[in-house]
Every structure is written in C-alpha cells, then in structure tokens.
Amino acid sequence: MTMSAKPMTDKKIQPASQYKRIMLKMSGEVLMGENQYGLDPATVKRVADDIKAVVDLGVEVCVVVGAGNIYRGVAGAAEGMDRTTADYMGMLGIVINALALQNALEHIGVHTRVQSAIRMDSICEPYIRRKAFRHMQKGRVVIFAAGTGNPYFTTDTAAALRASEMNCDALFKGTKVDGVYTADPHKDKTATRFDRISYMDVLTKDLKVMDATAISLARENNIPIIIFSVREKGNLAQVVQAKGKYTIVTN
C-alpha cells in the first residue's frame, strides 16, 4: 500500500530564531482564499506549508484560527439571533477550520493535535494546558479550537489567553496587510507603517490591531504581538527570523 503523506517524526531542533515558542493567530477568512466563503484546499495547504517551515526552524508552534469564513457570531447576533447561541455556532465553525488545518499539516508530515475548549472527544482532545505543553515540546503543532469556550470573547482574546498560558515568546497575528498603519493602506495611499508601536498607542489610537481585551492581556503578560501579512507564501518563516515587513506591538 502506498501513502501520499510523508512519514511523521517527533523531532527537536535547535531554534534558528530568537523565538522558542510562538502563537499564530489567523482569521478564518484567510483559509477561504479567493472564495466568498468556506475553505479553499490550496490556501489551506499553503498555510500548512508556511507553518511547517517554522517548525523546521526548530520553533514550537501553537495556532488559533477564527471562523469568519464559516460563521461569525457578531454577524448572527446583528441579524437578530441570540448572541450566546451565535457565538457557540462560531466556536463550532472554528473546530471545522482547525480539523481542516490539522489534516493539511499531517499530509505534509507535521504531527498535530487539536485541543478544543468545548469537549468533543470523538474528534479532538479537550484543552489541557500541561498536555499542550508536552505536545509542543515533542515538536507537535497544537491547534486550539472553539475559542475560549465562552460566548462574548473573540478569537483574538483566545489567542492572547492561550499564548499567555503556553508561555509563548510572541503572538503572531496574520492579516491581509504587512503591519500596523496610520490608516487603512487600501483606502489611504498616504498611510505609513509603524515598525514598532506600544500597546497603549494601539489602544488609545483605536488602531484595530486586535480587540482591546486581547491587547490588554498581551500587555499584562508582556507578550509582543507581531502583525504581518499571512497571505504571502513563506512570509511567516521570514518574519519569525526578523526579516521582511511587520510591526511589533510591545512595551
């Protein structure tokens, strides 16, 4: 019997980066590529390739992905649905995205675990902090699904929370632009990019990098937030090695 996937091996490599462990946060929209909704297999594979490139540098990786490509709780609430119900539906969408990313990673030889904040033992592990630590120490990518498990909290907040719990060296926020700008660069051609900006400036200037709860949590735990373009192939590994364009949010 032949197998299309490459053999997977647990491995530990000396990090070729200043970061030993990172959190990658992506919106669900990243995974839909040029489609209007859902998952684009080619884009999911490209994201998996980018994550593998970082793992191959010897960096421990955990991931939080949103569900905007499937269902957004706030949008559902705006249409008259109960906000709690809408948010739980969004959490289920996150699990779908997490399983898709897990499948793509394992097809290219990366050991992966999905841990959900809402128990669904038939398809993934429950979130257990010490277990997640051990997985990453063994070189496995851990994908945290279902947000925080609570309504009214965004996946940005979930990413900042898990990054704090996992003692991550940095939180990488993958967006459609290559950093934080003074204005929307797609609308204002005079907008300039910050190389570095403080947590407080992000909050006081209302720069929409992440929601205020996530920024405050990262600030409290002194976790730098690196904003970069996740839509460019290979960009994640470049930014992890302090190359290319990005913005660092820090003290």
Mean pLDDT of the chain: 92
- Structural domain includes residue 11: no
* Number of domains within the chain: 1
d(CA 220, CA 119): 29
Asked whether the predicted pLDDT for residue 77 surpasses 80, the reply is no
pTM comes to 0.91
> Could you give phi then psi for residue 217, rounded to 5 degrees?
-65, -40
Q: What pLDDT score was predicted for residue 9? A: 45
The range of the structural domain enclosing residue 133 comes to: 21-250
| Type of residue numbered 133 | F
- Structural domain includes residue 244: yes
The one-character DSSP state at 8 is P
DSSP 98-113: HHHHHHHHHHTT--EE
| Type of residue numbered 25 | K
| Type of residue numbered 79 | E
Contact between 221 and 161 under an 8 Å Cβ cutoff? The reply is: no
d(CA 27, CA 176): 10
- Structural domain includes residue 4: no
Which of 106, 216, 215 shows the shortest CA–CA distance to 227?
A: 215
d(CA 59, CA 68): 28
- Structural domain includes residue 10: no
Asked whether the predicted pLDDT for residue 4 surpasses 50, the reply is no
Asked whether the predicted pLDDT for residue 17 surpasses 60, the reply is yes
- Structural domain includes residue 2: no
Asked whether the predicted pLDDT for residue 89 surpasses 90, the reply is yes
- Structural domain includes residue 56: yes
Contact between 158 and 186 under an 8 Å Cβ cutoff? The reply is: no
- The percent of residues in the chain predicted with pLDDT above 90, rounded, is 80
Q: What pLDDT score was predicted for residue 166? A: 98
- Structural domain includes residue 91: yes
Helix (H, G, I), strand (E, B) or coil at 200: helix
Q: What pLDDT score was predicted for residue 79? A: 83
- Structural domain includes residue 13: no
CATH number of the domain bearing residue 154: 3.40.1160.10
